[in-house]
């Protein structure tokens, strides 16, 4: 189920807000490169845990948008997953993966009801989603992140 929380000052649902943004701005709203903090995180992870092979590590990005962060992780061999509430963003992300020959499991979903099994991800990346939701959604999303993370896993927030 997609988050359809209503924001009175916007007069629309959160998913409609993002869908409208991506549809009206097209490629301009799509991030082309990974955030430096994501690059630093993966470099740190590889140095701290050299025995961990990327193909055994599952990474989820909530609010993946164009997929630039997880596409970078996929290029290093990590298993990557992405969710976004915008179908336009998900379609763009899938096309971006397809054009490079990389694989990512990308789907439309909301942070407060993630379609993944418990203790599946080693790393969850959030770069701007949790700060955009109301308190009720935030609490549910944190519970969901905790649910899908393996023990000792981490949230990049």
Query: Given the DSSP bridges, would you call strands 6-7 and 12-13 parallel, antiparallel or unpaired?
Result: antiparallel
**Is 151 in a helix, a strand, or coil?**
strand
Residue 2: the pLDDT is 45
Q: What's the whole-model pTM score?
A: 0.85
Which residue range(s) make up the domain with 127?
A: 6-156
Domain assignment of residue 1, yes or no: no
Domain count of the chain?
A: 1
Measured between alpha carbons, how far is 23 from 148 in angstroms, rounded to an integer? 30
Domain assignment of residue 28, yes or no: yes
- CATH number of the structural domain spanning residue 128: 3.40.50.150
What does the pLDDT look like over 12-47, one tens digit per residue?
Answer: 566 666 666 666 766 766 667 898 999 999 999 899
Average pLDDT for residues 114-133, to the nearest whole number? 93
Domain assignment of residue 33, yes or no: yes
What does the pLDDT look like over 64-78, one tens digit per residue?
Answer: 988 999 999 999 999
Q: Quick check: 32 and 39 in contact, CB under 8 A?
A: no
């Amino acid at each position: 189920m997609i988050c359809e929380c209503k924001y009175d000052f916007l007069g629309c649902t959160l998913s409609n807000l993002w869908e409208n943004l991506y549809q009206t701005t097209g490629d301009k709203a799509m991030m082309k490169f990974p955030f430096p903090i994501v690059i630093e995180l993966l470099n740190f992870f590889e140095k701290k845990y050299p025995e961990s092979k990327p193909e055994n590590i599952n990474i989820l990005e909530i609010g993946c948008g164009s997929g630039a962060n997880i596409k970078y992780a996929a290029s290093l061999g990590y298993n990557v997953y992405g969710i976004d509430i915008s179908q336009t963003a998900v379609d763009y992300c899938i096309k971006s993966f397809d054009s490079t020959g990389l694989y990512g499991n990308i789907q439309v979903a909301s942070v407060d009801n993630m379609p993944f099994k418990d203790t599946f991800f080693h790393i969850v990346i959030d770069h701007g989603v949790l700060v955009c939701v109301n308190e009720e959604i935030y609490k549910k999303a944190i519970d969901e992140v905790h649910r899908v993370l393996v023990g000792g896993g981490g949230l990049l927030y």
